[in-house]
Amino acid sequence: MAKHSLPRFRIAVVGSGAIGSYYGGKLAYYGRDVHFLMRGDLHAVRKRGLHIRSKGENIHVAKVNCYTLTEEIGPSDLVIITLKATSNDALPALLPPLLHEKTALLTLQNGLGSEEFLAEHFGAERVLGGLCFVCLNRTAPGVIEHYDYGRVAIGELRRYPQPRTHDIAWEFKRCGIVCSVIEDLVLERWRKLVWNIPFNGLSVVAGGIDTAAILADENLRRLTLELMDEVISIANQCGHALPTAVALEQMKRTETMGAYKPSTLIDYLAGRPLEIEAIWGEPYRRARAAGIAAPQLENLYQQLLSLDWAQRSNSR
pLDDT digits (tens, 9 = 90+) for 147-174: 887 899 999 998 999 999 999 999 999 9
Residue 67's φ and ψ, nearest 5 degrees, are -145, 165
| pLDDT at position 191 | 95
- Give the strand pairing for 104-107 and 33-37: unpaired
Given 55, 63, 102, 192, the catalytic residue: 192
Q: What is the crossing angle of helices 282-289 and 295-315, to 10°?
A: 140
Domains in the chain, CATH or no CATH each: 10-183 (3.40.50.720), 187-315 (1.10.1040.10)
Neighbour count for residue 225 (Cβ, 10 Å): 16
pLDDT in tens, 254-289: 999 889 999 999 999 999 889 999 999 999 999 999
Per-residue pLDDT at 4 exceeds 80: no
Active-site residue, 261 included: no
Angle at 285 between CA 280 and CA 287, to 5 degrees: 95
Return d(Cα 99, Cα 70) in angstroms, integer. 10
Strand partners, 138: 144
pLDDT in tens, 168-224: 999 999 999 999 999 999 999 999 999 999 999 999 999 999 999 999 999 999 999
| pLDDT at position 314 | 77
